[in-house]
Structure 1
């Protein structure tokens, strides 16, 4: 016997939408999702001849509170439609006279995100646009309120490698606290068209584009033994008071003091090997990095700083072997 709550649905008729009806549902306002969450994973691992494991991962708000005040706006763009992107909210406030345009970052946002009387970025028909911002950004005249509206905490107990000879700890006691700025995920609808990168790799015109701003206000980790982005290989290193931002040097304009990372991901073919795989291209990372306590073998060797740390012109092709 059907529940009374289900009876109306059981008796309803389903009618397919024809082309004319489908045309009437385009150009809608999209979907907004307000999100609160905490994430914990005891372990996730990759097993090949050995095992690489991430142990005790947790994502939350600062001090293990709920990660909240998150707002996702999700839209499928029409042709040349202007949608929320990056610091477009700052441009909107500056245009309304709520923010001082003598601030170079504010002036830059107003110039870059003003499009034909709207504020955001222009997209093509069929692009899927996901923008992550805050539900409540506080005082609309305060940049500090806006930039600190979404706080987060990421912790990892350890990252380990295990094989027939035993196990080794690569990183341990990882804790990163900070603020998340505007973050955008865009799936560009380029159809089946392919394009060629500067290095000769062929990649799909349909791609996932990531653009995020963030800052680490306090962090720590033990760097037990590992390579990082093929640039550094240390062991028995401890870092405390880590900060990642973009507040000094010659590379600050448009970032409001936050670090910035961008990348594009798509299907691709390597020009060198001819292998098909995942292309990660147009990768950029820009930040200043402060490590006020840098220990080697448990003893501090002083303070380490990077100014205008930039990774650019980076392309990767990832495939199995």
Structure 2
């Protein structure tokens, strides 16, 4: 989930790195076109990101690149402002399009059959949107052989490295995580800003949220990863210290929760302005959060010694809502 979110948050700055000024003639050729396509190559480096309160939280030595510290390339962003009921590319709609064209066999693969059923709207392949919705879809410039599913799933590779995540205060510095290195592949990723105007809706917990919201949907796979888990809470469930993990893999190939994911982990979330039913505070609502994956940790060290391997199957975070505000 972390690399996908980092990548999504870095898209604006990464895309700007490839933008070039356009003269009036070039602009006139863009006017009236149905959406914009951006072919993107980038590499993001950040020496330090710091949040300061009474103390500081520091992300040190962050890098987002292709495998082995190469340029992250072969990415294509399509940007559209939808008309009413317009069908635009979303999720695995490209797989559905290939299946409909006879390039992939839905009879031989349950995921392909599910994609065809999910993304064939009858008016095109994708998802139907409302007037004024801003839809950004990340895919690949070149998917390789259109009959080869592996080419599609491994078209965009990434590498995320973080030297350390630390907290600093008057009593010194504490390392939470260090020597983080994750390699894998980015699947279809969608950022949608829903045009809900001034409408609101009420969540199951009573929180009121804006109908205009940012929606994130992403699929990704970690094929190899390592990190030192020095001292930190993870999603308020696990708290370990002096833990080392090697050979980390995050995917979705086991268990009873694989359909429609093509072996990739998935994450979704919606973000909007909201008001807490419990406190009455206004803030950023993060709701409809969902994460699904299988997690393999073949080398799990406590101190210097390995205690063996650890696996999670059908690991799911659901029914999760957060209201974030200052105090």
Establish whether TM, by shorter chain, passes 0.5. Answer: yes
Pair 1:93 & 2:98 matched:
yes
Residue 313 of structure 1 is matched in structure 2 by: 319
Correspondence for 1:47 among 40, 46, 52: 52
Pair 1:77 & 2:82 matched:
yes
Residue 134 of structure 2 is matched in structure 1 by: 128
SS of aligned partner of 2:272:
strand
Q: CA deviation at 1:153?
A: 0.1
Pair 1:280 & 2:275 matched:
no
Bigger CA drift: 113-122 or 303-312?
Answer: 113-122
Residue 189 of structure 2 is matched in structure 1 by: 183
CA contact (8 A) 2:178 2:228 kept: yes
Q: CA deviation at 1:305?
A: 0.1
Task: In structure 1, list runs of 5 or more residues that go unmatched.
Answer: 1-7, 13-24
Q: Can you list the C-alpha shifts for 1:80-132, whole angstroms capped at 9, x where unaligned?
A: 00000000000000000000112100000000000124100000000000000
Aligned length: 299
SS of aligned partner of 2:144:
coil
Correspondence for 2:229 among 198, 223, 227: 223
Query: In 2, Cα distance between the equivalents of 1:193 and 1:100?
Result: 43
SS of aligned partner of 1:118:
coil
Correspondence for 1:163 among 166, 169, 173: 169
Q: Can you list the C-alpha shifts for 1:213-251, whole angstroms capped at 9, x where unaligned?
A: 000000000000001110111000000000000001000
Query: In 1, Cα distance between the equivalents of 2:228 and 2:304?
Result: 10
CA contact (8 A) 2:164 2:176 kept: yes
Residue 274 of structure 2 is matched in structure 1 by: 268
Bigger CA drift: 108-117 or 182-191?
Answer: 108-117
Query: In 2, Cα distance between the equivalents of 1:270 and 1:182?
Result: 32
Correspondence for 2:207 among 201, 216, 222: 201
Query: In 2, Cα distance between the equivalents of 1:297 and 1:130?
Result: 44
SS of aligned partner of 1:91:
helix
Q: Can you list the C-alpha shifts for 1:13-60, whole angstroms capped at 9, x where unaligned?
A: xxxxxxxxxxxx76x420000000000000010111101100000000
Query: In 2, Cα distance between the equivalents of 1:74 and 1:167?
Result: 43
Query: In 2, Cα distance between the equivalents of 1:298 and 1:183?
Result: 38
Q: CA deviation at 1:307?
A: 0.1
SS of aligned partner of 2:295:
strand
Query: In 2, Cα distance between the equivalents of 1:303 and 1:286?
Result: 20
CA contact (8 A) 2:62 2:162 kept: yes
Pair 1:295 & 2:305 matched:
no
Cα RMSD (Å) of the superposition? 1.2
Query: In 2, Cα distance between the equivalents of 1:43 and 1:209?
Result: 28
Q: CA deviation at 1:193?
A: 0.7
CA contact (8 A) 2:161 2:180 kept: yes
Query: In 2, Cα distance between the equivalents of 1:29 and 1:85?
Result: 16
Residue 148 of structure 2 is matched in structure 1 by: 142
Query: In 1, Cα distance between the equivalents of 2:88 and 2:304?
Result: 50
**Runs of 4+ deviating beyond 3 Å:** none
